[in-house]
Amino acid sequence: MRDFLRDSTASKLLIGKALGALGSWLDHRHGPDLHDGMHLDPQIRAAVTAKAWIKMPEIQTAPPSKARKLYAAQIAPFDLRLEPMARVEEITIPGPAGPLPVRIFWPEGAAQAGPKGAASTRGAPALVWFHGGGFVVGSPRTCEPALRRMAARGRFVALSVGYRLAPEDPCPAAHDDALAAWRYLTDHAEAFGLDPARIAIGGDSAGGNLAACVCLKARDDDAIRAPAFQALVYPATDFTRSMASHETFAEGYMLTRALANWFLDQYIPNGVAHIPNRVDPIPNGVDPVPNGVAHIPDRVGRSPRAVAVRVDRRDPAVSPLFAKDLSGLPPGVILTAGFDILRDEGRAYARSLQRAGNDVEDNCAEGLVHGFFSLSGVVDAARNAIDNLAAQIASGLSIGG
Q: What is the pLDDT of residues 149-173, one digit of tens each?
A: 999 999 999 999 999 999 999 999 9
Do residues 318 and 293 make contact, with C-beta atoms less than 8 angstroms apart?
yes
Q: Which of 118, 121, 138 is nearest to 129 (CA)?
A: 138
Cα–Cα distance, 376 to 372 (Å, whole number): 6
Range of weakest confidence among 233-237, 306-310, 347-351: 306-310
Q: What is residue 295's predicted lDDT score, i.e. its pLDDT? A: 34
In terms of average pLDDT, the best of 62-71, 116-125, 179-188 is: 179-188
Is residue 299 scored above 90 in pLDDT? Answer: no
What φ, ψ does residue 115 adopt, rounded to 5°?
Answer: -60, 125
Do residues 136 and 71 make contact, with C-beta atoms less than 8 angstroms apart?
no
pLDDT-derived band at 114 (thresholds 50, 70, 90) equals low
Cα–Cα distance, 119 to 96 (Å, whole number): 37
Do residues 375 and 339 make contact, with C-beta atoms less than 8 angstroms apart?
no
Architecture of the CATH domain 83-243+312-396: 3-Layer(aba) Sandwich (3.40)
Q: Which of 59, 64, 92, 90 is nearest to 74 (CA)?
A: 59
Task: Work out the mean pLDDT of the chain and round it to a whole number.
Answer: 86
Annotated catalytic residues are 205, 340, 370
Q: What is residue 262's predicted lDDT score, i.e. its pLDDT? A: 95
Is residue 41 scored above 50 in pLDDT? Answer: yes
Query: b/e for 223-247, b at 16 or more Cβ within 10 A?
Result: ebbbbbbbbbbbbbbbbebebebbe
In terms of average pLDDT, the best of 63-67, 294-298, 372-376, 385-389 is: 385-389
Q: What is residue 265's predicted lDDT score, i.e. its pLDDT? A: 94
What φ, ψ does residue 356 adopt, rounded to 5°?
Answer: -80, 0
By residue count, the chain amounts to 401
Q: What is residue 33's predicted lDDT score, i.e. its pLDDT? A: 87
Cα–Cα distance, 155 to 113 (Å, whole number): 7
- Identity of residue 159: L
For 82, counting Cβ atoms within 10 Å of its Cβ (0-12 exposed, 13-18 middle, 19+ buried), the class is middle
Q: What is residue 271's predicted lDDT score, i.e. its pLDDT? A: 64
Q: What is residue 122's predicted lDDT score, i.e. its pLDDT? A: 77
Do residues 256 and 353 make contact, with C-beta atoms less than 8 angstroms apart?
no
According to DSSP, residue 211 is labeled H
- pLDDT tens readout for residues 279-292: 233 333 333 333 33
Do residues 185 and 93 make contact, with C-beta atoms less than 8 angstroms apart?
yes
Q: What is residue 116's predicted lDDT score, i.e. its pLDDT? A: 53
The residue-averaged pLDDT of 72-77 equals 90
Cα–Cα distance, 130 to 233 (Å, whole number): 11
Is residue 68 scored above 80 in pLDDT? Answer: yes
Domain extents for the chain?
Answer: 2-77, 83-243+312-396
In terms of average pLDDT, the best of 6-20, 282-296, 348-362 is: 348-362
Report pTM.
0.87
Q: Which of 139, 266, 265, 152 is nearest to 203 (CA)?
A: 139
Cα–Cα distance, 201 to 16 (Å, whole number): 31
The residue-averaged pLDDT of 45-73 equals 88
Q: What is residue 273's predicted lDDT score, i.e. its pLDDT? A: 56
Do residues 380 and 16 make contact, with C-beta atoms less than 8 angstroms apart?
yes
Q: What is residue 169's predicted lDDT score, i.e. its pLDDT? A: 95
- pLDDT tens readout for residues 238-277: 999 999 999 999 999 999 999 999 999 999 987 655 554 4
In terms of average pLDDT, the best of 17-31, 70-84, 112-126 is: 70-84
Residue ranges of alpha helices (H) inside 221-369 are 245-248, 257-267, 343-355
Cα–Cα distance, 198 to 127 (Å, whole number): 9
Using only C-alpha atoms, the chain has a radius of gyration, in whole angstroms, of 20
Question: Which residues in 6-75 belong to E strands, given as ranges?
Answer: 34-35, 38-39
Range of weakest confidence among 203-217, 278-292, 300-314: 278-292
Q: What is residue 21's predicted lDDT score, i.e. its pLDDT? A: 72
pLDDT-derived band at 278 (thresholds 50, 70, 90) equals very low
End-to-end CA distance of the chain: 39
Do residues 340 and 204 make contact, with C-beta atoms less than 8 angstroms apart?
no
Q: What is residue 9's predicted lDDT score, i.e. its pLDDT? A: 65
The residue-averaged pLDDT of 35-50 equals 90
Q: What is residue 54's predicted lDDT score, i.e. its pLDDT? A: 76
Q: Which of 279, 254, 271 is nearest to 342 (CA)?
A: 254
